[in-house]
């Protein structure tokens, strides 16, 4: 099990993990972008390793596509790339704004 400390995955005891889940506000959340009925979500998956960040698309032409990576910085870039791929797939010039951990 892992927790995020300064946006870095750190191995944790069960007690530390439970406390982190209990105390963190949106602790596993990196970014979300909504566009109509489509959600692109990037989260920290604390029980996996080494690629503990996942971006997944729900709805639209990329429905159920997903990508994983190992760091917060990669996850932010991965999220932006997924949004870009979605916009290319729908062929429209829109600019949906992500909601990120910084905005919560």
Cα distances (angstroms) measured from residue 37 to each of 7, 48, 61, 98, 100: 29, 28, 11, 14, 19
On average, the pLDDT of the chain sits at 89
pLDDT, position 27:
72
pLDDT over 90 percentage in the chain: 69
Residue 24: pLDDT band with limits 50, 70, 90: confident
Q: How far apart are CA 2 and CA 48, in angstroms?
A: 8
């Amino acid at each position: 099990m892992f927790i995020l400390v300064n946006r870095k995955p750190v191995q944790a005891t069960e007690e530390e993990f439970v406390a982190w889940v209990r105390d963190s506000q949106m602790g596993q959340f990196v970014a979300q972008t909504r566009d109509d009925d489509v959600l692109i979500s990037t989260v920290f998956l604390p029980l996996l390793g080494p690629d503990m960040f996942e971006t997944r698309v729900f709805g639209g032409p990329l429905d159920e596509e997903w990508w994983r990576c190992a760091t917060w910085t990669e996850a932010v870039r991965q999220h932006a790339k997924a949004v870009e791929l979605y916009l290319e797939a729908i062929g429209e010039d829109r600019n949906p704004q992500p909601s990120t951990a910084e905005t919560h």
